Amino acid sequence: MTEDSQRNFRSVYYEKVGFRGVEEKKSLEILLKDDRLDVEKLCTFSQRFPLPSMYRALVWKVLLGILPPHHESHAQVMTYRKEQYSDVLHALEVIRFISDATPQVEVYLHMHRLESGKLPRSPSFPLEPEDEVFLAIAKAMEEMVEDSVDCYWVTRCFVNQLNNKYRDSLPQLPKAFEQYLNLEDSRLLSHLKTCSAVSRLPYDLWFKRCFAGCLPESSLQRQLFSGAVWDKVVSGSCKILVFVAVEILLTFKIKVMALNSAEKITKFLENIPQDSSDAIVSKAIDLWHKHCGTPVHSA
């Protein structure tokens, strides 16, 4: 194998495990060695590059406020987080809301409900739309964050960020989607309007759930897809979701143009073919930079 082919092989491998190049990984490792982590710089890095999967949980915990910037406090704070997790878990077991047979994502949901003061009188009560969102995100998060305590805290804080920081921005995303799709391909947008599909696109899946559940087949593909997109959401921009949606439409333009009803178009877009996910994310990030520069802390 020649030196160039070896380098190309390594580049592909590094992309698959969550970062585009060794230099970016080294830059992040330097940032993570600081006694006091610079949250602004970590946000900037996460906006510019996909996080290596080995560091994603740590960076997300810092950016979401689960861990403080000071390294020396991490162990003690995580001890408190684990104790709180155990206390809430034990409370749910005592009141028989959960058992050993309860799926882990449902355990996380009941914990979140209890801590939010929204626990229903019975676990058999119908789920609210916000509960469905939490479950979808928790299921996707399970594939990126192995430790159950970390997974709960990251899911909870990620959802809280959507509900609080992005509360006013998320409802505006369908309009922004229409605007940017028109700039990229007005003919495609016209077709959606002709089919009365614009108002029936899977906006909840795209924007409220941040594409959780959009890739149903391959666990690896889901992890790479969600991780690369959620790095941007966690670090300050939910607008990346718009450009992922736009790129999905552009990628499958021929297929969508061949469909002549809103129902068929929506059904197709709810489960996009998994083998296109890497290219979609990469092109979506390029689109995002093209239209927005490199936004930091912007919704």
The pLDDT-based confidence of 214 (bands split at 50, 70, 90) is confident
DSSP string, 82-120: HHHHHHHHHHHHHTTS--TTS-HHHHHHHHHHHHHT---
pLDDT (tens digit, 9 = 90+) per residue, 85-119?
Answer: 999 999 999 999 999 999 999 999 999 999 999 99
**Is residue 216 over pLDDT 70?**
no
CA-to-CA distance for 284 and 211, rounded, in angstroms?
13
Average pLDDT, the chain: 88
Query: Do residues 239 and 169 lie in contact, with contact meaning Cβ atoms separated by under 8 Å?
Result: yes
What pLDDT is attached to residue 50?
85
Calculate the alpha carbon distances from 191 to 159, 181, 196, 227, 253 in Å.
34, 12, 9, 31, 10
Give the pLDDT score at 124: 87
How confident is the model over 153-182, as a mean pLDDT? Answer: 97
| In the predicted structure, residue 281 carries a pLDDT above the cut 50 | yes
**213 or 237, which is more confident:** 237
pLDDT of residue 1: 43
For residue 14, what pLDDT band results from cuts at 50, 70 and 90? very low
Q: pLDDT-based confidence at 16, cuts 50/70/90?
A: very low
Q: Which helix (H) or strand (E) holds 159?
A: helix 148-163
What pLDDT, on the 0 to 100 scale, is given for residue 4? 42
User: Is residue 295's pLDDT more than 60?
Assistant: no
**Fold of the 166-298 domain:** Cyclin A; domain 1 (1.10.472)
Residue 17 pLDDT level (bands cut at 50, 70, 90): very low
pLDDT tier at 299, thresholds 50, 70, 90: very low
Asked whether the beta carbons of 202 and 269 are under 8 A apart, the reply is: yes
- Count the helices and strands in the chain (H runs, E runs): 16, 0
Q: Whole-angstrom Cα distance, residue 29 to residue 24?
A: 9
The tens digit of pLDDT for each residue in 31-90 reads: 999 889 999 999 999 998 889 889 999 999 999 999 999 999 999 999 999 999 999 999
Entry pTM: 0.88
Running DSSP on this structure, what letter comes out for residue 35? S
Q: At what angle do helices 53-63 and 22-32 cross, to 10 degrees?
A: 40
Residue ranges covered by each domain of the chain: 166-298
